[in-house]
Amino acid sequence: MTAWVVARPGPMAGGPLERVRLPVPEPGPGEVLVKVEVCAVCRTDLHLAEGDLTPRRPRTVPGHEVVGRVAGRGPGADLPDGARVGVAWLRSTCGVCRYCRRGAENLCPYSRYTGWDADGGYAEYLTAPQDFVHPLPAEPPAEKLAPLLCAGIIGYRALLRAELPPGGRLGVYGFGASAHLTAQVAIAQGATVHVLTRAPEARRLALDLGAASAGDAYDAPPEPLDAAILFAPVGDLVPVALAALDRGGTLAVAGIHLSDIPSLNYQEHLFQERTLRSVTANTRADGRALLEHAARSPLHVTTMPYGLDEAGQALADLAADRITGAAVLHMDA
């Protein structure tokens, strides 16, 4: 099968990805073989390719927003051939540690991740534990479902972590794949959303999707914020977002990687019970909740299509902020 591997982690200009031929993987116990239809491109894939996220194994196939069909199964798995499934970032957990037992499997010390600990979706096939794939409806098209499987899920968890009160004012810093979905969820829940991002195209999209305002990432929003989510991996924005919070507000940092945070001034950034929180991966329950929300209130998923042979270009475009919405790799393009 055709696949891409992270051969030489480093800047995209150096060509960290390599196109290769690999055997179709064999599903192990409890696993299914998935024939990939599309795989959305996540900023985490870029962090892995460029070395911001330390590889956990050599020559890994990235990609963890997969929509495909079951094409085989290992011992103990029983999903039928042709079943439509989604493969997300969280690949497996131990199920018995204190975090798993209390419903916080995203914090499991033994958790493993698609496209990091095991080969992912920049390929024609991949395997995944049956217990960690998401059953998907017959509609909408795969291209519109794939970004939900990480961008949507992690944004949904970040919104929960931000503790936005009903009818509250939410600031969204950065407006890529995850943010453009999360903003829609918040608006559907009755929030007033202010988007702050450097890309003019992203600001236009934010307004089209119902944001109350859209300004530059370093601008002050037009009113104090009850909560904010930082999607851009830019530590310099942490004090900016904290200063924009009203009393008692919470800033949730949604990325797996963030550049260094500058010094914070206690009175300006944290006093009056402002809170700074991280967001770590997601749980399967987060995934189910987001997919259920999307079924009730369909999200407008903005995508830019690429063929599998254009994976390197898709990541380069993401690095250069040339993607509006989510890039999606099509296996049959």
Neighbours of 285 (CB within 10 A): 12
CA–CA dist 154, 52 (Å, integer) = 19
Task: Read off the amino acid at residue 110.
Answer: Y
CA–CA dist 251, 317 (Å, integer) = 28
Cβ atoms of 103 and 288 closer than 8 Å: no
> Where is 141: in which H helix or E strand?
none
Cβ atoms of 197 and 180 closer than 8 Å: no
Closest listed residue to residue 255, CA positions, set 311, 178, 165, 327:
178
Cα atoms in the 13 Å half-sphere on the side-chain side of 261:
15
Instruction: Output phi, psi for 48, to 5 deg.
Output: -70, -45
DSSP per position, 46-90: HHHHHTSS--SSTT------EEEEEEEE-TT--PPTT-EEEE-SE
> Where is 125: in which H helix or E strand?
strand 125-129
| Segments in the chain below pLDDT 50 | none
Cβ atoms of 324 and 47 closer than 8 Å: no
pLDDT digits (tens, 9 = 90+) for 225-248: 999 999 999 999 999 999 999 999
The conformation of residue 262, written as its DSSP 8-state character, comes to P
Cα atoms in the 13 Å half-sphere on the side-chain side of 180:
26
- pLDDT at residue 181 in the model: 97
- Crossing angle of helices 200-208 and 177-188, in 10° steps, is 20
Non-local (6+) Cβ contacts of 25 within 8 A are 33, 119, 125, 126, 127
- pLDDT at residue 319 in the model: 95
Cβ atoms of 159 and 186 closer than 8 Å: yes
- pLDDT at residue 333 in the model: 66
Cβ atoms of 25 and 87 closer than 8 Å: no
CA–CA dist 226, 248 (Å, integer) = 7
Cβ atoms of 316 and 45 closer than 8 Å: no
CA–CA dist 162, 295 (Å, integer) = 23
Structural domains of the chain, ranges and CATH numbers in brackets: 2-147+301-330 (3.90.180.10), 152-278 (3.40.50.720)
CA–CA dist 59, 76 (Å, integer) = 29
Closest listed residue to residue 60, CA positions, set 102, 20, 104, 15:
20
CA–CA dist 5, 57 (Å, integer) = 11
Cβ atoms of 245 and 251 closer than 8 Å: yes
- pLDDT at residue 160 in the model: 98
Cβ atoms of 149 and 86 closer than 8 Å: yes
Instruction: Output phi, psi for 146, to 5 deg.
Output: -55, -45
What tokens were used for 264? 């914070």
pLDDT digits (tens, 9 = 90+) for 255-280: 899 999 999 999 999 999 999 999 99
CA–CA dist 1, 125 (Å, integer) = 7
